[in-house]
């Protein structure tokens, strides 16, 4: 929790989270180790700096307490209350638990930054995704044979093959982007032609500055239709995979053609970026269909009965990658289709990376359910703001984070409710 406070304060400001060491932002003096003990030091110092006596925000205490509650609460829910049947025993499933705890901490940090500055620090979600992929590969080495992939929805051999092919395609696109053969979308707006600013309720871009004035914020009554639109789109595109960043104008309104950038045209750049991934995944599907022996050989590599160690490890690794892809695609697909349909940028890259990281940690089902749960939670908050006549802008990242938390904890209930759709999962 103490480290999360550093992340929350420094990353949006472009500062290193390593150097300089913890110091008072008012007087600049380093914080002594005994003044940096989570929770206790804040209370002992009376919420003031020992040297300059400047007040220390209560947010530091709240974040540390919230982190402790999340990590300890998750342990209690998984291993004491047993809300999930796939948690097993801690000694055998601790890598999966660590990845889930890291995800919840990352979501907490991103939510606070998004609420305060309307940006998502993508590095945090990248870290969570890496932890999830690593846990997917390592967990089978500690787990029992009866539960080789705890706290994760595994993917089938073909799905893993598609994910690997898609991942290679993304790497190709990133290389083409770096070499200048592809251009990022909304590059003109990002350079200032359209005066970008942080997003309101429909996404966020990593490289934008904080919203200038409260007077420029949309009214809650305007936010309500947007969240309703989100819910409708989420339902209408229920089985369409869905990713990228969002640029908005100074009033928090997504960029439209009137702002000097044609959002529909920009979607062509994103489709070009995605093209190698879909082409390679399609090629795998074609080869597997044309040459069943190739599909059988691939499946045998993931077979735990044939390869007792390598099979589960590769399955866990591939399932994390597949979850990452599906999580990101839910929102990228919504973004592209929504932008093409309505002529203004829909969703944002921060949202994409949040749901992708959720998928890397938990597999493909949790981000898929979160995609539908988050708008419901956000809509409830928008209704509350409308009823109470409050008018702050709503960031969407916290609602994705809340939806992910709810889905992770009540995973078994959602699985039971969705059995007619999921079949054997």
Specify whether the CB–CB gap between 96 and 126 falls below 8 A: no
Residue of 360, 364, 324, 349 lying closest to 153 (CA atoms) = 364
Quote the radius of gyration of the chain (alpha carbons, Å). Answer: 22
- What 3-state DSSP class applies to 416? helix
Tell whether the torsion through CA atoms of 83, 87, 91 and 97 is positive or negative.
negative
DSSP string computed for 187-255? HHHHTTTT--B---TT---TT-PPP--GGGSPPHHHHHHHHHHHHHHHHHTTTS-------B-TTSPBP
- 3-state SS string over 347-407? CCHHHHHHHHHHHHHHECHHHHHHHHHHHHHHHHHHHHHHHCCCCCCCCCHHHHHHHHHHH
Report residue 254: phi and psi, to 5°: -55, 145
Q: How many other CB atoms are there within 10 angstroms of residue 225's CB atom?
A: 11
Read off the DSSP letter of residue 315.
H
What the block records as the tokens of 216 is 């420029």
Residue 262's pLDDT is what? 86
Entry pTM: 0.83
Between CA 45 and CA 135 the distance in angstroms is: 39
Between CA 215 and CA 224 the distance in angstroms is: 18
Specify whether the CB–CB gap between 328 and 174 falls below 8 A: no
Specify whether the CB–CB gap between 63 and 105 falls below 8 A: no
- What 3-state DSSP class applies to 259? helix
Burial class (CB in 10 A: 0-12, 13-18, 19+), 146: exposed
Read off the DSSP letter of residue 32.
P
Between CA 421 and CA 415 the distance in angstroms is: 9
Q: How many other CB atoms are there within 10 angstroms of residue 29's CB atom?
A: 12
pLDDT, tens digit (0-9, with 9 covering 90-100), for 167-222: 999 999 999 999 999 988 876 555 444 333 333 333 333 333 333 333 334 444 44
Between CA 28 and CA 22 the distance in angstroms is: 9
Only one residue has tokens 């939806």, namely 403
Report residues of the chain scoring pLDDT below 50. 191-253
What the block records as the tokens of 343 is 């002529």
What the block records as the tokens of 364 is 């493909």
| Residues making up the chain, counted from first to last | 425
Tell whether the torsion through CA atoms of 203, 232, 392 and 71 is positive or negative.
negative
Specify whether the CB–CB gap between 327 and 361 falls below 8 A: no
- What 3-state DSSP class applies to 169? helix
Residue of 104, 34, 17, 100 lying closest to 63 (CA atoms) = 104
Report residue 153: phi and psi, to 5°: -85, 120
Q: Which residues touch 253 (CB under 8 Å, ≥6 apart)?
A: 200, 218, 344
Residue 238's pLDDT is what? 34
């Amino acid at each position: 929790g103490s480290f999360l406070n550093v992340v929350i304060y420094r990353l949006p400001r472009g500062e290193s989270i390593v150097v300089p060491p913890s110091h008072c932002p008012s007087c600049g003096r380093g914080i002594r180790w005994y003044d940096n003990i989570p929770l206790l030091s804040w209370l002992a110092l009376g919420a003031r700096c020992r040297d300059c006596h400047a007040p220390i925000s209560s947010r530091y205490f709240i974040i540390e307490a919230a982190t402790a509650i999340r990590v300890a609460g998750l342990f209690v829910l998984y291993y004491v209350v047993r809300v999930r049947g796939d948690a097993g025993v801690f000694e055998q499933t601790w890598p999966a638990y660590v990845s889930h705890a890291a995800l919840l901490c990352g979501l907490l940090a991103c939510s606070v930054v998004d609420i305060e500055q309307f940006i998502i620090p993508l590095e945090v979600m990248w870290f969570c995704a890496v932890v999830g992929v690593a846990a997917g590969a390592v967990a089978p080495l500690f787990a029992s044979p009866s539960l080789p992939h705890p706290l994760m929805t595994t993917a089938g051999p073909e799905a893993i093959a598609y994910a690997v092919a898609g991942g290679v395609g993304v790497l190709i696109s990133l290389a083409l982007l770096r070499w200048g053969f592809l251009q990022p979308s909304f590059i003109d707006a990002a350079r200032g032609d359209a005066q970008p600013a942080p997003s309101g309720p429909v996404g966020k871009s990593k490289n934008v500055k904080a919203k200038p004035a409260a007077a420029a914020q949309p009214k809650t009554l305007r936010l309500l239709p947007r969240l309703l639109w989100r819910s409708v789109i989420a339902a209408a595109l229920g089985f369409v995979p869905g990713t990228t960043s969002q640029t908005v104008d100074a009033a928090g309104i997504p960029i439209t053609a009137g702002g000097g950038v044609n959002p529909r045209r920009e979607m062509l750049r994103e489709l070009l970026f995605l093209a190698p991934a879909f082409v390679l995944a399609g090629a795998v599907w074609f080869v597997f269909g044309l040459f069943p022996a190739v599909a059988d050989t691939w499946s045998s590599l993931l077979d735990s009965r044939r390869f007792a160690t390598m099979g589960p490890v590769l399955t866990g690794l591939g399932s994390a990658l597949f979850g990452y892809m599906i999580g990101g695609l839910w929102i990228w697909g919504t973004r592209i289709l929504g932008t093409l349909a309505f002529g203004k940028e829909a969703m944002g890259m921060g949202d994409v990376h949040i749901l992708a990281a959720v998928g890397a940690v938990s597999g493909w089902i949790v981000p898929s359910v979160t995609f539908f749960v988050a708008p419901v939670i956000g809509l409830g908050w928008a209704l509350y703001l409308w009823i109470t006549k409050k008018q702050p802008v709503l960031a969407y990242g916290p609602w994705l984070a809340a939806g992910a938390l709810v889905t992770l904890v009540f995973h078994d209930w959602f699985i039971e409710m969705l059995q007619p759709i999921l079949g054997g999962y």
